[in-house]
């Protein structure tokens, strides 16, 4: 499968998980889209730095658009790219954010760690108060 096919498949699968499996329905909430707008801004900044400086490179055979010359930088916008990175990165990022938030909401509804745990870590044995010197 190409990067594009995997990205589209990821979005579809996570949308089904949100709407029908977990039934969190974040896609229908305005607060999700406002939050995502903030997240996507920083994703574009990260993509621009990593791909624009050629720290991350993509094979043109697997993305929409083409490969860039060996020493040339990819275009900032155009040829299937947004902020130097292939547009498929936005799809993967969207699926990642949606799945993470859907699981967060779902686990909150079923009561996973409803109250914050206070005190020492639970993996430590309790201290024996009788062995402490009097103060």
Alpha helices, H only, the chain: 3-16, 30-52, 88-109
Q: Are 40 and 90 in contact (CB under 8 A)?
A: yes
pLDDT score recorded for residue 17: 98
Q: How far apart are CA 68 and CA 5, in angstroms?
A: 21
Task: Give 45-104 pLDDT, tens digit per residue.
Answer: 998 898 888 888 887 777 887 666 555 667 778 777 888 888 898 999 999 999 999 999
């Amino acid at each position: 499968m190409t990067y594009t096919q995997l990205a589209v498949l990821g979005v579809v699968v996570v949308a089904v998980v949100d709407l029908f499996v977990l039934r969190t329905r974040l896609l229908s909430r305005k607060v999700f889209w406002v939050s995502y707008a903030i997240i996507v801004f920083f994703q574009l900044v990260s993509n621009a730095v990593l791909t624009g400086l050629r720290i991350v490179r993509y094979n043109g055979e697997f993305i929409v658009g083409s490969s860039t010359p060996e020493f040339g930088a990819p275009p900032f916008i155009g040829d299937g790219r947004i902020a130097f990175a292939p547009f498929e990165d936005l799809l993967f990022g969207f699926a990642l954010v949606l799945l993470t938030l859907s699981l967060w909401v779902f686990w909150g509804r079923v009561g996973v760690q409803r109250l914050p745990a206070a005190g020492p870590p639970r993996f430590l044995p309790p201290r024996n108060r009788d062995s402490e010197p009097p103060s």
